[in-house]
Chains A and B, each alone.
Chain A
Amino acid sequence: MFAVTFIAILIVMFFLLIRVALGPTIFDRILAVNTFGTAIVLLIALFGFLVERPDFLDIALLYALTNFISTIAVLKLFRYRSLGKAVDK
């Protein structure tokens, strides 16, 4: 039964990649990549259960953190053209 959900999430990821390639605006691409990260977190957690090694949940947790930070970082770079210095509006 894990395999069914696993395959469903793989299909989801395939179509998200198509959206990344198609996406008319840059925001469509960022949205698809952010959702792709969510799908990867679910995929890693499912894989941990599929091979009966729950240690994979640690990796899923870390990936959830990294995904959030990277989305915010890309958006900040897009808005301020800089990651380091604090720029006010």
Chain B
Amino acid sequence: MFIVSWILLVLGSAFCLIGTLGLMRLPDFYSRVHAASIIDSLGTILVLLGLLTQTQDLLVIAKLILILLFMMLTGPTAVHALAHTAVLNENDPESESPRKQA
């Protein structure tokens, strides 16, 4: 059981680091959102599942599942609100991309 939990935690932190690398590397805002959503989806899921397999306490498991459910529900809403506001304000996603590639 501990092996499974360790694998999940290490994979989760690896995906968080990859998402951060993307956030630094990708050229424009609309692409960076994809990198941030790696941290929001698989990074969060794997780290919380790794914590979930560490404990036997039912109350702790319920709280972890609630955190996971809540972040799965609100993450997309916040990202959509952000992207929608960005579109309304610049009305052109390609306007500022220093090294956009075809």
Contact = CB atoms under 8 A, between A and B. Distances in A.
Nearest to B87: A27
A1 to B, nearest CB: 5
A30 B83 CA distance: 11
B16 A9 contact: yes
Interface of B: 5-6, 9-10, 12-14, 16-17, 19-20, 23-24, 29, 32-33, 36, 39-40, 43-44, 47-48, 50-51, 54-55, 57, 59-60, 63-64, 66-67, 70-71, 74-75, 77-79, 81-82, 85-86, 88-90, 96
Interface of A: 1-2, 4-5, 8-9, 11-12, 15-16, 18-19, 24-25, 27-28, 30-32, 34-35, 38-39, 41-42, 45-46, 49, 54, 57-58, 60-61, 64-65, 68, 71-72, 75, 78-79
